[in-house]
Amino acid sequence: MSRNTSPTTIPASPKVGMVSLGCPKALVDSERILTRLRADGYAMSADYAGADVVLVNTCGFLDSAKEESLAAIGEAINENGRVIVTGCMGHEAEAIRARFPAVLAVTGAHQYEAVVEAVHEAAPPSQGPYIDLIPQPSEIDIKLTPRHYSYLKISEGCNHSCSFCIIPQLRGKLASRRIDAVLREAEKLVAAGTRELLVISQDTSAYGVDTGHEPREWHGQQVRAHMTDLARELGGLRTLQGAPPWVRLHYVYPYPHVDAVIPLMAEGLLTPYLDIPFQHAAPEVLKAMKRPANEAKVLERLRKWRAISPDIAIRSSFVVGFPGETEAHFQYLLDWLDEAQLDRVGAFRFEPVAGASANDLPGAVPEEVKEERYARLMAKTEAISAAKLAAKVGRTLSVIIDDIGEPDEDGDIGATGRSQADAPEIDGQVFLRNVPETLAAGDIISVTIEDADAHDLFGAIAES
């Protein structure tokens, strides 16, 4: 009696493709979705052709972002045909299905369970007992950013009711993560090679308000779910090289307790950088936006912060052409910027967003006026940036390396990095000449600044 000993062919794991749009918070959502799917036995596909199903994580904040999301959905359907939509635009499921009937499923922002269930239905994960018993990778295996920097999301949602914004409708009210869970994730990321942590949320300053700043035990001591406690603990982490990681705070509303984190920057525990969404300066416009209107006090606080931490970089964003914004209001903003001397500035032309109360305000600003004001604001902030960067020529700065170039015809190698004043993707860069072959992405080195333009710095590795 013979036995059939021919080998059994083990089927390949189903593959998932991902298109991630929008802000870093959405990128973190994409990482978490892919991590869950990887744990369920799925493989990742880098292109449409190799994917059994494609996820499109959408942005739905502005009409321009919605159009970009719809274009991405259309491209995925044309290239692959099996598409699941998630993210902020998911609350407009009927509109998405009307335009793209072939979409397999639509879910909203950070609805991880619903996304995973939709993928399971579209491309079942089970490959049989032999595959299902294989241990899957850990949570830190799926990253959509380079290994040396990571986004650390500390909360979801927002308690503000800004008249131009629908984030609370898309992502709900503030929901803070447990402080021990956040610190555990940060510790694992740093242990895995992260040298820069970018703390993100809708309102980082409000972290823990919804939980009464509930304390949790962390390494034998009680730590509150509060921005200052979080910042202090993150500053106590150490990289594989024994150095503190860069810890960069984003989306920081200027509440009074923000003053308490500035000394941590002076001590080297926090990167001297704050991303504060001021949005405007004219009190009447801020009131219409339903934003705090204390621009004069902010100027005084900026002076105090710079006295404590002279290298602190302040980034912000502003809306031009908000309903009711007059030329006098806009000139007030320009004059305020002359006083504030912000290091990095982004600007947006006001767009009516479906569901935002600002749409009903009187005094709509004509599009050509929005464009003219946008151009003037960018010219103003570019001049400020150019002067600030020029003042750094001759100084030696710490720079984190993002990319190493190929040797040129003379064999010289260039590299691109960022100073502590520069967040990835949104701020400037430092361009280095003639770096050694041993330099690697994630290295933090001392650089002598030799030149500057309105946005970027140029230099060489400092002589030891």
Per-residue model confidence as pLDDT tens digits over 255-264: 999 999 999 9
Q: Going along 339-453, which residue ranges are E strands? A: 344-349, 396-404, 415-419, 430-432, 444-452
Same domain, 188 and 333: yes
pLDDT score at 369: 97
What is the 8-class DSSP label of residue 58? Answer: E
Contacts 24+ apart (CB under 8 A), 112-116: 112/29, 112/32, 112/33, 112/36, 114/86, 115/33, 115/55, 115/84, 115/86, 116/33, 116/36, 116/37, 116/40
Among 133-137, 186-190, 284-288, the minimum mean pLDDT is found in: 133-137
pLDDT score at 112: 77
Answer yes or no: is 3 within a domain.
Answer: no
Same domain, 250 and 373: yes
Answer yes or no: is 58 within a domain.
Answer: yes
Tokens encoding 23: 């802000």
Answer yes or no: is 344 within a domain.
Answer: yes
* pLDDT band at 11; cut points 50, 70, 90: low
Boundary of a domain, candidates 72, 101, 132 = 132
pLDDT score at 452: 97
Among 153-167, 211-225, 232-246, 304-318, the minimum mean pLDDT is found in: 153-167
pLDDT at 47 over 90: no
- Cα-Cα end-to-end distance for the chain: 78
* Residue 259: domain span: 143-390
pLDDT at 306 over 90: yes
Answer yes or no: is 378 within a domain.
Answer: yes
What is the 8-class DSSP label of residue 138? Answer: P
Answer yes or no: is 443 within a domain.
Answer: yes
What CATH code is carried by the domain that includes residue 71? 3.40.50.12160
Residue range 22-38: average pLDDT? 82
User: 225 near 188, Cβ under 8 Å?
Assistant: no
pLDDT at 352 over 90: no
Which residue would you say has higher pLDDT here, 113 or 78?
78
Percentage of the chain surpassing pLDDT 70? 92
* pLDDT band at 1; cut points 50, 70, 90: very low
149/455 Cα distance (integer angstroms): 21
Which residue would you say has higher pLDDT here, 344 or 92?
344
Boundary of a domain, candidates 132, 161, 178 = 132
Residue range 362-369: average pLDDT? 95
Which residue would you say has higher pLDDT here, 162 or 264?
264
Same domain, 24 and 154: no
pLDDT score at 247: 97
Q: Looking up tokens 């447990």, which residue turns up? A: 178
pLDDT score at 3: 46
pLDDT score at 44: 86
Which residue would you say has higher pLDDT here, 82 or 64?
82
Among 46-60, 360-374, 422-436, the minimum mean pLDDT is found in: 46-60
* pLDDT band at 342; cut points 50, 70, 90: very high
Same domain, 331 and 439: no
Beta strands across the sheet bearing 105-106: 43-44, 15-20, 53-58, 83-87, 105-106
Q: What is the mean pLDDT of the chain?
A: 88
Residue range 381-402: average pLDDT? 97
Answer yes or no: is 286 within a domain.
Answer: yes
pLDDT score at 2: 44
pLDDT score at 294: 65
Taking the whole predicted model, whether its pTM rises above 0.95 is answered as no
pLDDT at 132 over 60: no
Same domain, 147 and 217: yes
How many domains are contained in the chain? 3
pLDDT at 375 over 50: yes
What is the 8-class DSSP label of residue 394? Answer: T
Same domain, 219 and 323: yes
Percentage of the chain surpassing pLDDT 90? 63
Which residues are bridge partners to 216 per DSSP? 223
Among 23-32, 71-80, 91-100, 204-213, the minimum mean pLDDT is found in: 23-32
